[in-house]
C-alpha cells in the first residue's frame, strides 16, 4: 500500500514562496493511471484542490492559483513538490498531498475523492 507524507516549513513570511514536499513510500510515482494532488484546507473552510502531477509528469492547476503554483517531481527520490509563490495570510491552511487513479474534480472536494492521503501539514503565513 502507498504512503504519503508532507514536509516543509510550518511558517512562511508574506510575499515569499511556500515550498512543500510529499514523500511517497510503498508505491511508484511513475506508475500509470495515477494523479498526485496537492489539496489545502484553510481554517473553518472546506477542502480546496490546488493542482496535480501525473505519473508521466504532466501538471494541471486550479485556475484561481495557477499563476502562483508549480508542482514538480523527483522520481529518484520518490517525491513531488509544491511551490506557491507570493503568499499572503489567506494561504494559511493545512496542506495535504493525495493520490487517486481518477482525474480530480476541481470543486466540492471530499476525503472520499482521493483513496490515499498524507497526514497533512500546517502552514502559517505570517510576518
| pLDDT tens-digit series, residues 45-91 | 999 999 999 988 999 999 999 999 999 999 888 999 999 999 999 99
Nearest one of 120, 122, 75, 97 to 22, comparing CA atoms: 97
Contact of 60 with 51, CB cutoff 8 Å? yes
Contact of 105 with 30, CB cutoff 8 Å? no
Assigned C-alpha cell, 114: 482521493
Task: Specify the pLDDT at position 31.
Answer: 75
Task: Specify the pLDDT at position 30.
Answer: 75
Task: Specify the pLDDT at position 88.
Answer: 98
Residue 109 DSSP code: -
Contact of 32 with 58, CB cutoff 8 Å? no
Q: Looking at the predicted structure, is the pLDDT value of residue 92 above 80?
A: yes
Q: Looking at the predicted structure, is the pLDDT value of residue 27 above 90?
A: no
Amino acid at each position: 500500500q502507498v504512503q504519503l507524507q508532507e514536509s516543509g516549513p510550518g511558517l512562511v513570511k508574506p510575499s515569499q514562496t511556500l515550498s512543500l514536499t510529499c514523500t511517497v513510500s510503498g508505491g511508484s510515482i511513475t506508475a500509470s493511471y495515477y494523479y498526485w494532488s496537492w489539496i489545502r484546507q484553510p481554517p473553518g473552510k472546506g477542502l480546496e484542490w490546488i493542482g496535480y502531477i501525473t505519473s508521466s509528469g504532466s501538471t494541471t492547476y486550479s485556475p484561481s492559483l495557477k499563476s502562483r503554483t508549480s508542482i514538480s517531481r523527483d522520481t529518484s527520490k520518490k517525491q513531488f513538490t509544491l511551490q506557491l509563490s507570493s503568499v499572503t495570510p489567506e494561504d494559511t491552511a493545512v496542506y495535504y498531498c493525495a493520490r487517486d487513479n481518477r482525474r480530480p474534480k476541481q470543486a466540492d472536494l471530499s476525503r472520499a475523492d482521493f483513496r490515499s492521503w498524507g497526514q497533512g501539514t500546517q502552514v502559517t503565513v505570517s510576518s
